[in-house]
Amino acid sequence: MIVCGIDPGLKGGMSFYSVIDKTIDEMDMPLGVKGSAGIDVVQLHFLLSHAKPDLVVIELPFALARQSMAGTQTSFTNFGRMLGVIELLGLRYRLVKPLEWKGKIGATKDKRSVLPFIRQTIPDYSLPKTKRGIFLDGRSDATALAIYGSIYQVA
């Protein structure tokens, strides 16, 4: 069984977790051409159609208190485009609120707090970073969502 976790923001990520092999394939959210404010739905379609996940677990976006109207609109537009691709492919999916999944795994607002939960399943997991050492929390959140989905969302 393969579960895909998605942190849907522009700085979000995707993670494919193989329940049988206990392996992770994580990546940044595919984005359109530089300067556009959208996800690359063609690349998203390609990734999902090739991985063929049994379940996709997506964090529900929410409007941030200090986010501009344009930023909020972009977030929700991208979320709708993403759902369109997932539904077009006929994939089974679950939407989860951040407080729901983070509460169940014991995570806090600190983005690194997902690490203990991930390491319960994949002991040698390390937090993804750029070459400059910047923490890629979209990828680790997506990985935590995928593992969460394999435990709590599969009937």
Domain boundaries in the chain? 2-153
Distance CA 36, CA 1 (A): 34
Is this structure's pTM higher than 0.75? yes
Q: Is 5 helix (H, G, I), strand (E, B) or coil?
A: strand
Q: Which CATH class is domain 2-153?
A: alpha beta
* Average pLDDT, integer, range 74-101: 89
Residues in the chain: 155
Distance CA 147, CA 122 (A): 10
89-129 confidence digits (pLDDT tens): 999 999 998 888 888 888 887 777 888 898 998 888 877 77
φ, ψ for residue 122, nearest 5 deg = -125, 85
The full DSSP string for 64-76 is: -TT--HHHHHHHH
Quote the mean pLDDT of the chain.
85
